[in-house]
Amino acid sequence: MEKYQVITPLVPVRSEPRDPAEQVTQFLYGEQVEVLEEHAQWRRCRSMQDGYEGWLDSKMIGEIQLGEYLVKSPMKAVSLPSGVKVVPAGSRIAEELGETKLESISQVAKMFLGAPYLWGGKSIMGIDCSGLTQVASQLVGIQLPRDARDQAQVGEEIPFADLAEENDLAFFDNEDGNIIHVGVILENDVQRFIIHAAGEVRIDRFDHQGIFREDQQRYTHKLRIIRRVNG
């Protein structure tokens, strides 16, 4: 199979080879992919980073150029072979930018506060819950799968919410028992919170029951499992 890399800042990856099809994820600049199938100008590609597959326009990929540095700012103007472009966090580029070192998943996640929710999104312009945890983990050297249900298989299970620590990932299920949501646990001396993408990237209260929205005075997500991931 032929291998390429993403050559535009942010590529919508779709469930079918047509523009109106559902966006299932996004590939970021410099991400390497392998082409699995062709249909007109469309290519079904698999990310070599997390194995996720979907359709994208062939104009958005090109020859592989070595890119060993990750962009760590939410958005950054960088000099690329095609000129100066603004690329999102998680993009791979050829030169070190001298950005501030990121120490933790929670530190990265907080940079996305206020970003709008977007199904399949992976940037500050629009992001979903598992996109947030995947990108935040990647920028501190932890590789996670794309979807929440797969991320819930990674790391050490924490059996009780009282034992959770900052940077642990909390997963939430629906009435059918399917994991549908994920967030990053935050804590202070009094209680725990969670940063997650729900409408926007926001911080809410968290306990053994799940996520409590103060503005709605109700629990919006039911806790299923907590995982501690390691670099």
Q: What tens digit of pLDDT does each residue of 79-124 get? A: 888 889 999 999 999 888 888 889 999 999 999 999 999 999 999 9
Q: How many domains does the chain have?
A: 2
Question: What is the domain-level CATH number for residue 15?
Answer: 2.30.30.40
pLDDT grade for 231, boundaries at 50, 70 and 90? low
Structural domain that includes position 33: 1-98
Domain endpoint, select from 98, 124, 141 = 98
CA nearest 67: which of 54, 78, 56, 53?
78
81 and 126 assigned to the same domain: no
Domain endpoint, select from 68, 98, 128 = 98
Decide if pLDDT at 167 tops 80.
Answer: yes
Residue type at position 97: L
CA nearest 88: which of 70, 66, 110?
70
Claim: this prediction has a pTM higher than 0.85: yes
112 and 42 assigned to the same domain: no
Domain endpoint, select from 98, 116, 146 = 98
126 and 35 assigned to the same domain: no
Q: How far is CA 152 from CA 28, 147, 166, 219, in A?
A: 23, 9, 17, 21
> What distance in Å separates the CA atoms of residue 113 and residue 118, rounded to the nearest whole number?
14
145 and 42 assigned to the same domain: no
